[in-house]
């Protein structure tokens, strides 16, 4: 049995298989509509979510399966003091596969050690978010036609943004990637990502504070929200929250082939006027998230389409 806890749990071949399957699901939805008949997905969300939880649930439903779960820690027995390990041991009696989001880094990893069914990390604190990364990779592949030869700008809260950490880990394994890391001094990428992932793979990168200075050089601009819930004090959040706002005037400095991604939710970092620009990919990205999760569920359950 296999779990997905960290993006590095998947080899490049496995990622390629999931992305290819996701594209086949997009092209031939009817082939997949009964693949998970009789199977159940449990979504255990100890932290807020819209896209991740609902796209997991929609994914399972579109595969003909069923879903159960909870959407906040308060509505589960964790509010009574139950451990994550006990919750998962019990839920693995009710479901065939579990997607878990938790505010503590490492909680899904711990859950995977107690579970009798595959565990998918749907976000653990400021650490990893591997299914968002699969979503991002499918989006880049569909928008750009490739996952190599890219200059990728990551902008915003690079310190606490788990989607950023996971995407850097995963995409660093492709050929000829360059990173432009755009953040305030206080929200720079954690040292372990810079040294153990970027530098140890000899990937060219620069760290800058100005978006305008670099936007013209980018193939991808990955915008992120400042992660309010991970700050120790509200004053720091208020000071940093509007560090970057992408609007049409800044977009005028970018090249025509730029793809703008954002894991969403957006707060202020992308002006609504940008949504109508063909370079804005973030709503297509959210849709891709459903298809890639369908492919992931099938892969972890070892299921194939009926021919
Ligand atoms: C992200 C997350 O939860 O880390 N959202 C998502 O899953 N699409 C990004 C965020 O909350 O800023």
The sign of the CA dihedral 231, 287, 261, 151 is: positive
With beta carbons less than 8 A apart as the criterion, state whether 270 and 260 touch: yes
Catalytic residue among 51, 194, 241, 262: 51
With beta carbons less than 8 A apart as the criterion, state whether 71 and 49 touch: yes
The verdict on 75 and 216 lying in the same domain is: no
Gap from CA of 52 to ligand 1 centroid (Å):
8
Tokens describing residue 140: 């880049």
Gap from CA of 131 to ligand 1 centroid (Å):
11
With beta carbons less than 8 A apart as the criterion, state whether 98 and 121 touch: no
The verdict on 109 and 182 lying in the same domain is: no
Gap from CA of 93 to ligand 1 centroid (Å):
29
Residue 111 counted as domain residue: yes
Residue 307 counted as domain residue: no
Residue 247 counted as domain residue: yes
Gap from CA of 136 to ligand 1 centroid (Å):
12
* CA gap 201, 143 in Å, rounded: 25
Residue 2 counted as domain residue: no
Residue 218 counted as domain residue: yes
Residue 306 counted as domain residue: no
The verdict on 145 and 269 lying in the same domain is: yes
Catalytic residue among 3, 129, 165, 241: 129
Is pLDDT above 90 for 185? yes
Q: What is the pLDDT of residue 229?
A: 93
Residue nearest to atom 3 of ligand 1 (CA): 123
- Residue matched to tokens 């490739």: 146
Reported as a single tens digit per residue, the pLDDT across 109-161 is: 999 999 999 999 999 999 999 999 999 999 999 999 999 999 999 999 999 99
What CATH number corresponds to the domain at position 23? 3.40.50.1370
| % of residues, the chain, pLDDT over 90 | 95
Residues 53-66 as b/e (b if ≥16 CB within 10 A, e otherwise) read bbbbbbbbbbbebb
The verdict on 121 and 216 lying in the same domain is: no
Q: How confident is the model at residue 82 (pLDDT cuts 50, 70, 90)?
A: very high
Q: What CA–CA distances, in Å, run from 282 to 180, 189, 218, 228? A: 19, 22, 16, 21
The verdict on 205 and 274 lying in the same domain is: yes
Reported as half-sphere exposure (CB side, CA atoms, 13 A), residue 301 has a value of 24
Active site residue 293: no
Reported as half-sphere exposure (CB side, CA atoms, 13 A), residue 5 has a value of 15
Active site residue 209: no
Mean pLDDT of 217-231: 96
The verdict on 32 and 149 lying in the same domain is: no
Number of domains in the chain: 2
* CA gap 179, 281 in Å, rounded: 19
Q: If you average pLDDT over every residue of the chain, what do you get?
A: 97
Is pLDDT above 80 for 1? no
Q: How confident is the model at residue 210 (pLDDT cuts 50, 70, 90)?
A: very high
User: Which atom of ligand 1 lies closest to the CA of 289?
Assistant: 8
Gap from CA of 55 to ligand 1 centroid (Å):
13
Q: Which residues line ligand 1 (CB under 6 A)?
A: 51-52, 123, 129, 132, 162-163, 225, 263-265
Q: How confident is the model at residue 75 (pLDDT cuts 50, 70, 90)?
A: confident
The verdict on 22 and 113 lying in the same domain is: yes
The verdict on 271 and 135 lying in the same domain is: yes
Q: What is the pLDDT of residue 26?
A: 98
Best mutation site among 55, 124, 264, 286 for ligand 1, i.e. most ligand atoms within 8 A of its Cβ?
A: 264
* CA gap 181, 214 in Å, rounded: 10
For 178, other C-beta atoms within 10 Å of its C-beta total 16
Residue 183 counted as domain residue: yes
Residue 32 counted as domain residue: yes
Active site residue 135: no
Mean pLDDT of 285-297: 98
The verdict on 52 and 16 lying in the same domain is: yes
- Residue matched to tokens 């194939």: 304
The verdict on 140 and 231 lying in the same domain is: yes
Active site residue 151: no
What domain range is 281 assigned to? 130-286
| % of residues, the chain, pLDDT over 70 | 99
The verdict on 269 and 162 lying in the same domain is: yes
Q: What is the pLDDT of residue 142?
A: 98
Active site residue 114: no
Residue nearest to atom 12 of ligand 1 (CA): 225
Catalytic residue among 3, 39, 52, 127: 52
Catalytic residue among 40, 101, 142, 165: 101
Mean pLDDT of 193-216: 98
Gap from CA of 265 to ligand 1 centroid (Å):
6
The verdict on 13 and 150 lying in the same domain is: no
Q: How confident is the model at residue 306 (pLDDT cuts 50, 70, 90)?
A: confident
């Amino acid at each position: 049995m296999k779990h997905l806890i960290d993006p590095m749990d998947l080899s490049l071949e496995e990622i390629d298989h999931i992305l290819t399957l996701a594209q086949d699901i997009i092209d031939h939805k009817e082939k997949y509509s009964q693949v998970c008949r009789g199977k159940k997905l449990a979504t255990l969300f100890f932290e807020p979510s819209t896209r991740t939880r609902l796209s997991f649930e929609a994914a399972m439903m579109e595969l003909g399966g069923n879903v159960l779960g909870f959407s906040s820690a308060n509505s589960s027995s964790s509010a009574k003091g139950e451990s994550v390990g006990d919750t998962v041991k019990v839920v693995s009696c009710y479901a065939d596969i579990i997607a878990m989001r938790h505010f503590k880094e490492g909680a899904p990893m711990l859950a995977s050690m107690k579970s009798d069914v595959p565990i998918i990390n749907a976000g653990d604190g400021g650490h990893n978010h591997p299914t968002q990364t699969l979503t991002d990779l499918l989006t880049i592949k569909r928008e750009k036609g490739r996952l190599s030869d890219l200059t990728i700008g990551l902008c915003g809260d690079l310190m606490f943004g788990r989607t950023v950490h996971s995407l850097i880990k995963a995409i660093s394994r492709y050929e000829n990637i360059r990173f432009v890391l755009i953040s305030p001094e206080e929200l720079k990428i954690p040292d372990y990502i810079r040294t153990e992932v970027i530098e140890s793979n000899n990937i060219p990168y620069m760290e800058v504070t100005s978006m305008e200075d670099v936007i013209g050089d980018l193939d991808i601009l990955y915008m992120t929200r400042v992660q309010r819930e991970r700050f120790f004090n509200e004053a720091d959040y208020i000071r940093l929250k509007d560090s970057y706002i992408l609007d049409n005037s800044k977009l005028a400095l970018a090249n025509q082939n730029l793809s703008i991604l954002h894991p969403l939710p957006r707060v202020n970092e992308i002006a609504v006027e940008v949504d109508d620009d063909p370079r804005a990919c973030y709503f297509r990205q959210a849709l891709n998230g459903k298809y890639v999760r369908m492919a992931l569920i099938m892969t972890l359950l070892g299921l194939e389409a009926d021919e």
